[in-house]
Chain A
Amino acid sequence: MKPTGLLFLALLSAVPAARLRAAERPRYGGSLRIEAGSSLATLDPAAPLADPRAVALRDHLLLLMADRLVRFNPEGRIGPALALVWTAGPGSRTCVFTLRPNVRFQDGAPLTGAAVADALRLLHPGWRFRAVAAANAAVGESLEIASDEPLPELLAELAAPADSILRRASDGSFVGTGPFRLAEWQPGRLARFVADDDAWAGRPYLDGIEILMGRAPRERLLDLALGQADVVALLPEQVRQAIQQGMRVWSSKPSEFFALEFVHGRPAAEDARLREALALAVDRGALRDVLLEKQGAPAASLLPDWLTGYGFVFPVAADQARARQLAARENPSPPLRLGFDSSDPVAAAIAGRIAVDGQAAGLIVRPVGTDPVDALLVRLGIELPEPRAALLGLARTLGIADQVRLPALASPEELFAAERTLLAGDWVVPLVDLPEICARGPRVKDWMASGVPGADGWRLEDVWLAQESK
């Protein structure tokens, strides 16, 4: 072959390679469409939310539009965010944060110590705040947070997405310092964000994000298949179908778990043998393998194994024989009304299976959607990637915070002991850990979310959309 011919061939082969490289290069523009199953009535971080799925969704939205003073990195360590430096005072009763300079809210207002104090005061009314003006423009203002009681969890709490620094604009909407600005808010239905060109961390690739809330699972999957959505939340039982359809499925680390919570004062729940029998009867493996289609993990501990490393110590295997023995002593066994969130299909499936397992052990378990109930199938969220804070948060959620005492720097052994204390008596029976699961379409690029709850959320500031082929 002549050299000219070889050159022609070399040029010809280089064209697709160049086009391929161009296609994988991040690009600005485009609007990302996300469909979530949960609904959110308000973005106000001070508003209490019972459903951990809603909490998780709110955390994601807050992390799009706002920043925290500090944040957890994927490894669970605290790092700087809006605060560059912080200095704890004696006895952990005070801490002075030096704010990042030249940061502005999305409405143009500068980030000041007073603005941060205003944002946090609503969340922590017991804290005292004092803003200290910056000596010069190159250094940000300082904010001192003080309390009469020691604040060993101060940084962990400030790293929680709920402690995002928000400011109410003149029109009443929330504005933050994050990469996206809330452009439209339809409670429970739609949240639309647009990129903030002046974001201190730089403009994101995406021009906007549109989040539809409260979409049904089947519709979400269908929309994704039809290209009408880019990212959709999945139920565990949809994972296999999504994979079979060629969708890319992303799972977070287990960020929530199902547990049985017996109700104090109810006759059936007060029976320790019945509680133990039911705890032994539940086949957690079947829950995980069949109902959750191998998503998540059987759990007998409150905190997931990825967070503590000792989760495997808690036995997850069912012991039907022992359960039957215990149930046989209660002859006849009193019927146990098991409450569950009837709007949650996963909860309904798990409750049904618990009834079957209980029946096999000789117990009468009736899943019901209404009060009165003897036990509840609860879905609990892991909001922070720090074991001590997460355990205390769970204890507070379960109303048993008074049963746990942990030092500021608790060792794994101390955490394990505290958790065993909380689980003693089988009043709370963890069943199965559950991750957050999403499927995304082919044009979503650089989805780099760590999946660590409370850390970096979806990290949509790094995501870009591929050009759709014509």
Chain B
Amino acid sequence: MSLRLKLLLVSTLLVLASVAAVAWVVTALARRAFERTSEQHTAALVEQFQRDFSGRGDEVVRRVAAIANQESILRMAIDVSRAPADRALYVNEARALAAAHQLDFLDLVAPDGAIISSAGWPARFGYKEDWVVRDANQSGAFLARWELPESPAIALNSVAAVPVGGRSFYVAGGLALDRRFLASLVLPAGMRALLYLRLAPGFVPTDLLSVSGFVDQPEKLAPLIARVEQGPRELRAELAWSSDPTSRETFYALPLTGADHNLLAILLVGSSDRDRVLLERYIRLVSTLVAAGGILLGVLLSWWAASWVSRPVEKLVAGARAVAAGQWETRVELDSGRGELGQMARAFNQMTAQLVEQRDRLIQTERVAAWRELARRLAHELKNPLFPLQITVENLERARDSSPEQFDEVFRESTRTLLAELENLKTILSRFGDFARMPAPIVEPVDVNELVRGVFKLFEAQFRAPGRPAIEARLELDETLAPIEADPALLRRALENLILNSMDAMPAGGALRVATRRKDSAAELIVSDTGQGLTPEERDRLFTPYYTSKQHGTGLGLAIVQSVVSDHGGKISVESEPGRGTTFRIELPARPPAGASFASPGRASERGTRAEGEAARGAGPS
């Protein structure tokens, strides 16, 4: 992944994360604000309810007291207290009184608790209303349950006692907790109040009232009501009426208990989450748009910034690649001359300049060294034949001066010696000339195994030559090896040089292994011996031309091998440790790489037989 893309991704992610964080914070703040507002509204509503409740209670107390204080009630109480009393005379009194005093329920109760007249259920006359007598001492209004023909009701009640002759006649009245009661509550927008009348065990959906009547899906409130019923306490719960989040509503449940603290009803104050959800949606929408715009802008800015940052880096990378490819003269020119990247470019240019300078210096040095080595080698090679020549000429001079009679014989002998040494000098010069004239490979399909067998056969006699320790040579050829495109003459010459080199490395005999192996599409040629091995220093300089560790080597054998392998686009490596032998590995591609210079196959005949003088002489490792 490019630096520019990375920078782009990072900046985009930063923009996204920033916008998301802002949106989340704004949403959370809005939610909190709504919740706080809702809680305040709920608290206000609960407070209002309690205030209304208290006010209604006071009103009930006042109305019931007004009835109890009426002269007619006193007369009725006196009349009923007499024996025998005709209570039937008053059976319809409560209805008129309740209507006159705007009470939903009114019972006139005799001292024995029997109903004399009931506005809510006139037919109940004569039956006992126990709670009236029991709760007559309540100072204020209280909740109680009224039995009615259709179903019971919950009302806010008051009981007033009318004392008559040591006994009490009771007036019990109440205002129903019903839809009218809910309608009287002033609710802020988005809020509503429900009332659950606990008239029967278990959840009864029809006992859940709203201002408009019954509640849709009342069962959804059943769990909250059940929790309140388990332990009468104020609870809060959220519920969704549908899959639409705007249908969510937060309910605050307020238990309403009677005088004996039994739960009679539950006020449910609902606060719609619709506005909050819509605001959150709006915030999300705006955040998305802002994020989209931010991302677009960020991408553009990031692209520009990434380009601004990465362009010099890319130039530096291109320069580095060019240097790696050998173009040491490469220079990086940046528009921004200052800053770290400018310094880096200048350092890069300085580095390449130094590399070029050092390379030139090294080339010069190596060239001088090579010439020196060549001179040394030439001097060494030429010194050997020159010394016999000098001795022979001096012998001739001494023979002519001291023994003229033997001069002829000496002369003939010396002439032969001189010719031999001159021939030797010629050979030496020829070898140097051959190395200088290494031909370009002439490729053709070559069966490497066949080539190895041919070379191995040439050397078989030498492995067991009399007068020298035997060498155990063996072939390990991979018969699956496919033919490769190569110059067979050069390959043969390289293999001969390696075998000769190995034989030279085993003056006391040893084992020689020549092997081929398939390596992907390439062919691997392995020549391994058990000779004396190489020191690390020798191994490093092994392929240097004119370097040799042998007394009579030219230092050209392995250099020729490396040259052949290189001309074929292959690789040569050596593994060796002193005393453990040496292994050469040559890897040749199935087809030489493009760009390599090859001679046409027709020139093969011009090459003639190339004998490696050094190989013929069995020189040591070169």
Interface, chain A (partner B; CB < 8 A): 237, 240, 283, 286, 289-291, 293-294, 349, 352-353, 355-356, 360, 366-367
Known pairs A352-B123, A356-B127, A360-B127 / 13 extra A-B pairs, C-beta < 8 Å: A237-B92, A240-B89, A283-B126, A286-B125, A289-B88, A290-B125, A291-B123, A349-B122, A353-B123, A355-B123, A355-B149, A366-B150, A367-B149
Q: Which residue of B lies closest to A351 (CB)?
A: B123
CB–CB A356/B91 < 8 A:
no
A291-B91 in contact given A355-B149, A367-B149 (Cβ < 8 Å): yes
A344–B202 CA distance with the chains assembled, in angstroms: 37
Give 6 nearest A-B pairs by CB, closest first. Answer: A352-B123, A353-B123, A290-B88, A356-B123, A290-B91, A289-B88
Which residues on the B side are within 8 Å of A289 (C-beta)?
Answer: 86, 88
Q: Report the count of interface residues on B (CB-CB < 8 A).
A: 15
Interface, chain B (partner A; CB < 8 A): 86-89, 91-92, 121-127, 149-150
A291–B91 CA distance with the chains assembled, in angstroms: 8
CB–CB B88/A352 < 8 A:
no
A366–B150 CA distance with the chains assembled, in angstroms: 7
CB–CB A294/B123 < 8 A:
no
A237–B124 CA distance with the chains assembled, in angstroms: 16
Q: Which residue of B lies closest to A355 (CB)?
A: B149
17 contacts between A and B (CB under 8 A): A237-B92, A240-B89, A283-B126, A286-B126, A289-B86, A290-B87, A290-B88, A290-B91, A291-B91, A293-B88, A294-B88, A352-B121, A352-B123, A352-B149, A353-B123, A356-B127, A360-B127
**Interface of A (DSSP majority class):** helix
A349–B88 CA distance with the chains assembled, in angstroms: 14
Which residues on the B side are within 8 Å of A355 (C-beta)?
Answer: 123, 149
Which residues on the A side are within 8 Å of B86 (C-beta)?
Answer: 289
Which residues on the B side are within 8 Å of A294 (C-beta)?
Answer: 88
Q: Which residue of A lies closest to B118 (CB)?
A: A356
Which residues on the B side are within 8 Å of A290 (C-beta)?
Answer: 87-88, 91, 125-126
CB–CB A356/B121 < 8 A:
yes
A367–B121 CA distance with the chains assembled, in angstroms: 13
Tell me how far the C-beta of B180 lies from the nearest C-beta in chain A, rounded to whole angstroms.
Answer: 23
A367–B150 CA distance with the chains assembled, in angstroms: 9
Tell me how far the C-beta of B85 lies from the nearest C-beta in chain A, rounded to whole angstroms.
Answer: 12
CB–CB B123/A349 < 8 A:
yes
Q: Which residue of B lies closest to A294 (CB)?
A: B88
A355–B127 CA distance with the chains assembled, in angstroms: 12
Which residues on the B side are within 8 Å of A366 (C-beta)?
Answer: 150
Which interface residue of B123, B126, B149 has the most chain A CB atoms within 10 A?
B123
Which residues on the A side are within 8 Å of B149 (C-beta)?
Answer: 352, 355, 367
Which residues on the B side are within 8 Å of A356 (C-beta)?
Answer: 121, 123-124, 127
Q: Which residue of B lies closest to A352 (CB)?
A: B123
A283–B123 CA distance with the chains assembled, in angstroms: 11
Tell me how far the C-beta of B232 lies from the nearest C-beta in chain A, rounded to whole angstroms.
Answer: 28
CB–CB A352/B126 < 8 A:
no
A367–B88 CA distance with the chains assembled, in angstroms: 22
Tell me how far the C-beta of B575 lies from the nearest C-beta in chain A, rounded to whole angstroms.
Answer: 104
A294–B125 CA distance with the chains assembled, in angstroms: 15
Tell me how far the C-beta of B95 lies from the nearest C-beta in chain A, rounded to whole angstroms.
Answer: 11
Which residues on the A side are within 8 Å of B88 (C-beta)?
Answer: 289-290, 293-294
Q: Which residue of B lies closest to A283 (CB)?
A: B126
Tell me how far the C-beta of A339 lies from the nearest C-beta in chain B, rounded to whole angstroms.
Answer: 14
A291–B118 CA distance with the chains assembled, in angstroms: 13
Which residues on the B side are within 8 Å of A353 (C-beta)?
Answer: 123
Tell me how far the C-beta of B206 lies from the nearest C-beta in chain A, rounded to whole angstroms.
Answer: 15
A367–B122 CA distance with the chains assembled, in angstroms: 14
A217–B126 CA distance with the chains assembled, in angstroms: 26
Which residues on the B side are within 8 Å of A293 (C-beta)?
Answer: 88
Which residues on the A side are within 8 Å of B150 (C-beta)?
Answer: 366
A352-B92 in contact given A360-B127, A367-B149 (Cβ < 8 Å): no
A395–B86 CA distance with the chains assembled, in angstroms: 37
Q: Which residue of A lies closest to B87 (CB)?
A: A290
A286–B86 CA distance with the chains assembled, in angstroms: 11
CB–CB A352/B122 < 8 A:
yes
Tell me how far the C-beta of A274 lies from the nearest C-beta in chain B, rounded to whole angstroms.
Answer: 19
Tell me how far the C-beta of A318 lies from the nearest C-beta in chain B, rounded to whole angstroms.
Answer: 11
A356–B150 CA distance with the chains assembled, in angstroms: 11
Which residues on the B side are within 8 Å of A352 (C-beta)?
Answer: 121-123, 149
